[in-house]
Structure 1
Amino acid sequence: MSRPTDLYSEFGYYVHQVVVLVDKRGDAMFRRELGISLRQFTLLRLFDVGPEVPSQQLIAERLGIAKSAVSRQIDIARQRGWIQVEVSAQSRRQHTLTLTDVGKQLLTDAKALIAQSEQQGFGDLPRADVEATIRTLKALYGALTDPAQSTPTIGS
């Protein structure tokens, strides 16, 4: 019988391995099919997930990169005609980002590609297993992002 810490370590190991594989495969798929990286798709996707226009801070958090590196991703998107960058009406130090028609079409194409790959990616996993995994990951996410929760320690 395994100890509880072994169980949680194994869980963490497999979550990490799945994330790495999904990122690698997603990046390869986007590069092959659309000529963009997974990170570039994620940037475009931020324009489609909420009412607010993505800020540099939000982009940094969602892409998992330093705020200073965000400007490079914004420049790439601007140069390729995916987004328009304008000085904010509220502050000259801030910029407003807007998805262009080219960016909207690329995002539509990318989302269709994601939907197709998700069908293949889950293979024959029973729907109940996928739903249970989602519930578990949501609960874990909630526990890790709730400041009232104590910080979990590895191996204790």
Structure 2
Amino acid sequence: MTPTSAAGIHLDDLPGHYIRRLQQIAVAIFMQETASWSVTPVQFAALQTVANSPGIDQRTLARRIGFDTSTIAGVIDRLEARGLMSRGPSPDDRRVRLLTLTDAGRQLLHEVVPSMLKTQQRILEPLPPAERDEFVRMLRVLVDANNELSRAPSDA
């Protein structure tokens, strides 16, 4: 029976509670595994996306990683201050800044990828190997189906 008042609700029955907790755990594992490089999960996502699409603009980067455009500017500021990413003018629109990785950014990404992959393994480790791909598939279904409800929908 579904409870109709707050008194009958248990956090253990709420998928949102577990999703929030898993996100906290995923970030904690990522930070442990990548501590030597002082990079956050969002910074990694930005670096990897720019590496995959050199010359991408800030707005498109934000949409690809599901981040709001005002906050991604601060992420890029920090990466640029560390000498990992650079912004250059667009030949088509002076208002648009195009993003590229610096040599240092490419090197950091190359170094951090094994730790990032270990993070993914650690997150999924409690599941039987045969269920890991299915779990990730189901996560994609939930995220894709609810993407438009996000404060920063992804277009990836």
Query: Which bin holds the TM-score, normalised by the shorter protein?
Result: 0.7 to 0.9
Aligned residue for 1:16?
A: 20
Matched, 1:96 2:105: no
What TM-score do you get using the length of structure 1 for normalisation?
0.73
SS of the equivalent of 1:86 reads: strand
Superposition deviation, residue 144 in structure 1: 2.0
Map 1:1-150; keep pairs closer than 5 Å.
Answer: 3=2, 10-30=14-34, 32-49=35-52, 51=53, 53-61=55-63, 62=65, 64=67, 66-145=68-147
- Residues 51 and 100 of structure 2 are in contact (CA less than 8 Å); yes or no, is this contact kept in structure 1? no
Question: What TM-score results when the alignment is normalised by the length of structure 2?
Answer: 0.73
One-letter amino acid of the counterpart of residue 16, structure 1? R
Q: CA deviation at 1:124?
A: 4.6
Contact kept, 8 Å, 2:54 with 2:100, in 1: the verdict is no
Equivalent pair of 1:44/1:103 in contact (CA under 8 Å): yes
CA distance in 1, matches of 2:147, 2:96: 28
Shift of 1:139: 2.1
* % identical equivalent positions: 23
Letter in 1 for 2:51: D
Q: Distance in 1 between matches of 2:144 and 2:41?
A: 25
Query: What is the DSSP-based 3-state SS (H/G/I as helix, E as strand, rest coil) of the residue aligned with 1:142?
Result: helix
1:63 to 1:81, Cα distance in 2 relative to 1, 3 A: farther
1:43 Cα shift?
A: 1.6
Looking at structure 1, the residues matched to 80 and 148 of structure 2 have their Cα atoms a distance apart, in angstroms, of 36
Q: What is the identity, as a one-letter code, of the residue corresponding to 1:68?
A: S
Is the Cα contact below 8 Å between 2:90 and 2:98 reproduced in 1?
A: yes
Distance 1:58 1:16 in 2: 26
2: CA distance, partners of 1:73 / 1:81: 13
Counterpart Cα distance in 1 of 2:73 and 2:79: 10
Total equivalences in the alignment: 142
Give RMSD over aligned pairs: 2.9
- 1:69–1:125 CA distance, 2 compared to 1 (3 A): closer
Does the residue aligned with 2:92 lie in a helix, a strand or coil? coil
